[in-house]
Structure 1
């Protein structure tokens, strides 16, 4: 591949991502492999996997946070918390349906996500960290169950 073509692709990637993505897709569709910006394409594919994991983490932490707040601050229960739990459950369930390979990842890092949610719950409620159980009091199945709310 010519240096000029590489410079042109890199420039397009840096200056107009959407156009770069459309151009790359067209090059792949027409099997014009010599013109594909492979380095940036590979980085983008790797980033997609990381983004999916980060999205799962973020949504699960929100669910766990709101479940803790629901359980430990019953006087502040609201439709907003319930709606947030429902919305983030939907997002996680959609992610798991679209990418079943995330299920083992979820099981592997569930305790870590709970630790994050526990710390955030302490920050948001003003309760001491010790007020919340060290280990997650909810099973993953409960966390994802659209009907489950702790007492």
Structure 2
């Protein structure tokens, strides 16, 4: 069904591909006015699904970065003096962002805990690659108390 005020020959589905911002404005308008028959439901569902996936991806990415810098601070002794401020800043910012994510979407807490082993393993590999530390220096299992990972005041 045609609902584009700028070009009456363009459908909502076409508008999605041609002008995403206008598609959003029109979709919101149709929802507010309860014009459900004018909504491009396929793309609405796709966008909502994508939003959920991006939140999950962001949580995992931030967790890897946080764990990477906790590991650097804890085990990269030769560079600690030079990189300590940078690591601490990154740790605090990643914690802040993770806590905001979890505050906005408390249901992500389960994903946080479920993702810890894989994210820790990824962070460990990154640190080993970046630092040339021997792999027996950094524990294979999570090296920090789980309750302290998001604790703003905790530093190894």
TM-score norm. by structure 1 comes to 0.91
Higher helix share: 1
* 1:14 Cα offset (Å): 1.2
Aligned partner of residue 130 in structure 1, secondary structure: coil
The partner residue of 2:53 within 50, 59, 64 is 50
Aligned to 2:126: 120
- For this pair of structures, how many residues does the alignment match? 148
Alignment partners' CA distance in 1, 2:137 and 2:42: 49
Aligned to 1:38: 41
* 1:128 Cα offset (Å): 3.4
Is the alpha carbon distance of 1:82 and 1:10 closer, same or farther for their aligned partners in structure 2, counting shifts above 3 Å? same
The partner residue of 1:133 within 134, 139, 156 is 139
CA RMSD after TM alignment: 1.8
Alignment of 1:15-94 (within 5 A): 15-73=18-76, 74-94=80-100
Q: Deviations over 1:23-67 (max 9, x none)?
A: 111110000111101000001111111100001011111110000
Flag structure 1 segments of 5+ consecutive residues without an equivalent. none
* 1:127 Cα offset (Å): 1.8
Moved over 6 A (4+): none
